[in-house]
Structure 1
Amino acid sequence: MTDRSCKLVTAIVQVFAMFLRPASFCAILLATGHAPYRIRPQGGCTMERYYPVAAVTLICGLMIFGMALTVARTHSTTGILAPAMTGDPRLERAIRAHCNTIEWLPIFLPAMWLFAIYWSPAWAAGLGLVWLIGRIAYFVGYLSAPLKRYPGFFIQSLTAFVLLLGALGRIIYLWLA
């Protein structure tokens, strides 16, 4: 495997390791020389600089939970109980808005974390909050009328692409350097 291939594989492993446990994430970053945080004298690493990104990740989970509660409430108010998912436009819009948000998570979360690792945790957390605001605007807009979802969609998709292309660009730059 070439040095460039190793760097790309390392970047991919970093993302998966980060979600497994912080200790293995630190070990991989230390082994590859990409340790952007303080090393404790007794070994291990501190992850303080990633706390804002972790907080945005957890807020994202709360947002998804809130959307799921809205879908459950809409099931109840329409009288269409699960597992049925059709029959009332309000229910169908609530389900679609919730599912659309879940569909964006595999794009948003890795992009935000890689942006935090390779650029800046503060900027990644800030952009993550903008993404959350866009998704909430999308959800609320979609519930009221399908055409009202576009402003939220524009905000969140632009933010996701900034995170995605920013992280990808930095990884490719470092890989080729």
Structure 2
Amino acid sequence: MLLTSIYAGVLALVFLVLSIRVIQGRSAAGVSLGDGGDGRLNRRIRAHANFAEYVPICLGLVALLEVGGAPTWLLHTLGIALVIGRIGHGYALAFAEHFPPGRMVGTLLTFLVLLIGALGCLLLPFLSV
């Protein structure tokens, strides 16, 4: 699972940046729990939470495909798409004032990784026979 570990490491760093962004927002807003009605802080919290909701399952699917012997090009394609998607989505919510296209593109790329990963995990056992 060496390839998956590369993408897990990169994504862990992105998660750290999003975590720090929430901490900075809470400090600036004087809020220790929740968003205190602050829309900017709410976006940061949602960027962080959304990352935590999608990345583990996507990485798990990629790891299962890697263990199952999926082609290297597929693993890299899914990993790169996930990294680009999560950075785009996270930037759009946690750093930008408005919701630029990064949010939509990030969501689309993440869903494609989820879909292709799920289909790959369903089909790989039949292709490896």
1:72: which partner in 2? 23
Could you say what secondary structure the match of 2:40 adopts? helix
2:109: which partner in 1? 155
Cα drift, residue 146 of structure 1: 4.2
Give the alignment's Cα RMSD to 1 decimal. Answer: 2.1
Return the TM-score normalized by structure 1: 0.63
The question of whether the paired residues in 2 share the 8 Å contact of 1:101 and 1:135 is answered with: yes
Closer, same or farther in 2 for the Cα pair 1:80/1:87, shift >3 Å? farther
Ranges in structure 1 where 5+ consecutive residues have no aligned partner: 1-49
Share of identical aligned residues, percent?
Answer: 25
* Regions of 4+ moved over 3 Å: none
1:135: which partner in 2? 86
Cα drift, residue 68 of structure 1: 0.3
Q: Indicate which of 71, 76, 94 corresponds to 2:44.
A: 94
Ranges in structure 2 where 5+ consecutive residues have no aligned partner: none
Q: Quick one: distance in 1 between partners of 2:66 and 2:113? A: 14
Could you say what secondary structure the match of 2:106 adopts? helix
Find the structure with the greater CA-based Rg.
Answer: 1
Give the structure, 1 or 2, with the largest relative contact order (CA under 8 Å, sep 6 or more). Answer: 2
Q: Quick one: distance in 2 between partners of 1:69 and 1:55? A: 22
